[in-house]
Structure 1
Amino acid sequence: MFIRGKTKKIRKKKHVKTKESLEILKASFYPVYDDVEKSKSRKQKNKQSKKEQKDWNEKNSKEYFFEKAHCNFDTTDYVWHTTFSDEHRPSTVEEAERIFRNLMISINRYRRKIGLERARYMAVIEFGDSGKIHWHILMDGDLHRDILETFWKKGTSNVDRLQQDEEGIRKLCKYMLKDPKGKKRYKCSRGNLEEPPAPTINDNKFTKREMIKMATNPPTKEEIGRWYPGYTLTKFDIKVDDVYGGVYMNIEMRRYVKNENIIYKDVGKVSK
């Protein structure tokens, strides 16, 4: 068995309009087993309940949504919340999605007319048991929000600038993907969003002995900071898995990176 490390750095790199961008570094360390250990691990894994597997898949899906959002949106962009009034309320999710498609067609038609590219967005539909449907939309900030709000004519419309904390827009993404008593789906604009970067693999940073030691005596904030110079610790957890018996460690760091090319929204020029 050896300890595998995966590290990825996430930040918005295209369509940047800010002097600095929040970069999030995510590092995870976990055991990789040999063939004999894999066989034992597989037997243990088979005991894992379907609910546990479902929870794991859901967690990964939500984390992917956050990473993709952080790669494409920042404080110069918007979050747009829309609701349906009683007279316009769709009876099915499919009808709500059709209305959303027509909304984006109208917006993109207007954008073309004034010389803007297609909208970049990530949209989540919330469909509760009460029958109320909401759209929560992350969208680029190229259009003025007062103009954007006028395109929604089915109920209330509220566009706000995105706000970040030390975790970026994680809290907002968590809210958008909260678990309702109904269905939850999301959709993204095609061909104009950046994918989260692939992780860098490092199999030599920690040994099995070091991981076991850290599980009982966790490293300090200062020690973790020395592993990743220039970053500030945001989150840390380490645990021994009861099912597999291995030690798992997750670290999240942050820093602000100066942007070399800044796009000015009003004139579309690039500053170097």
Structure 2
Amino acid sequence: MGFVRNIKYFCGKEYFETDLFELADMRERGRKIRKPKTEKSSVDQKRRNKKRAERKLLQEIMTNFTRADIFQTLTFDKEHQPTNAKEANKEFHNYIRRLNRRRKKIGLPPAKYKGVLETKSGKYHFHVVISGGISRDEMEEIWGKGLANARRLKINDKEIMQKLVKYLLKESRNEEKFKSRIISSRNLEKPKVTKTDWRFSHRKLVELAGLTDCAEVWEELYPGYAFIEAESTFNELTGWHITVKMSKKEGET
């Protein structure tokens, strides 16, 4: 006899995701199911991998950043343009050290950041989500190697945040090269994850799979959260899998 697992991801104070899916083997309860790796991913598998990467990055950003933080693009002027990725990363980490000295001086904790190093026409630049608290003009002065365009993070607009995540991952087709260009501070927190079994029956899971556009259903199941979107998919081997995205309702603690 199988059971339905409900995994919840609490990403900071304002964002929440949950998965509902059925596990057929009781022995798998409490364990992560590992599927055998294949030599080459199919087109569909690559699509799923990319979607999984986007979801993981969105969860990480929502867990660690707020509307007070910023999305910043750092470019190099002609005088400071590095000749390779190692040089570029060195300049970025020097920037973070200077920035953190300034933050410490005014009583702020070390900056959190998550982003990527990119190359266009042989020129390096960074796209990074980074802690706010210092004016954008001052951050550009601290960078001092070129332009430091910045805008407030629209953390409450999940559509914009999803586009931002896709933008950050746009060069991920070359997976190994992409991994080497990810920049991430060590003080990032992970989402709080909880797992619950047996709350939903197989019949209820099937019913909910057809109600992914009914906000009131999900808001009743998860009180205190406002519905954003839900998606259900069916696999002949594993059955239904539902993913729901929600945000904390205003006034809720």
TM-score between the two structures when normalised by the length of structure 2: 0.80
Unaligned segments of structure 1, at least 5 residues: 13-22, 261-272
Shift of residue 53 of structure 1?
4.5
Residue 7, structure 1, aligned to residue 24, structure 2: no
In the other structure, the counterpart of 2:214 is 220
CA contact 1:166–1:254 (8 Å) conserved in 2: no
Q: 1:104 to 1:53 in 2, by over 3 A?
A: same
Is the partner of 1:169 in helix, strand or coil? Answer: helix
Q: Which moved more, 1:225-234 or 1:58-67?
A: 58-67
Q: 1:139 to 1:36 in 2, by over 3 A?
A: closer
In the other structure, the counterpart of 1:235 is 229
Cα distance in 2, alignment partners of residues 113 and 252 from structure 1: 39
Residue 112, structure 1, aligned to residue 113, structure 2: no
Structure 2 counterparts to residues 1-272 of structure 1, below 5 A: 1-12=2-13, 23-34=14-25, 50-51=41-42, 52-128=44-120, 130-167=121-158, 169-179=161-171, 183-184=177-178, 185-190=181-186, 192-198=187-193, 200-215=194-209, 220-242=214-236, 244-256=237-249, 258=251
The one-letter amino acid paired with 2:243 is N
In the other structure, the counterpart of 1:264 is none
TM-score between the two structures when normalised by the length of structure 1: 0.75
Cα distance in 1, alignment partners of residues 107 and 215 from structure 2: 49
Is the partner of 1:163 in helix, strand or coil? Answer: coil
CA contact 1:127–1:180 (8 Å) conserved in 2: no
Aligned pair count?
241
Shift of residue 240 of structure 1?
0.9
CA contact 1:166–1:234 (8 Å) conserved in 2: no
Q: Which moved more, 1:223-232 or 1:47-56?
A: 47-56
Q: 1:195 to 1:215 in 2, by over 3 A?
A: closer
Cα distance in 2, alignment partners of residues 189 and 148 from structure 1: 17
Shift of residue 181 of structure 1?
6.7
Unaligned segments of structure 2, at least 5 residues: none
Cα distance in 1, alignment partners of residues 5 and 203 from structure 2: 13
The one-letter amino acid paired with 2:8 is T
The one-letter amino acid paired with 1:92 is N
The one-letter amino acid paired with 1:6 is I
Cα distance in 1, alignment partners of residues 45 and 84 from structure 2: 29
Q: Deviations over 1:60-85 (max 9, x none)?
A: 33322222211221111122111123
Is the partner of 1:119 in helix, strand or coil? Answer: coil
Q: 1:100 to 1:218 in 2, by over 3 A?
A: closer
Q: Which moved more, 1:160-169 or 1:72-81?
A: 160-169
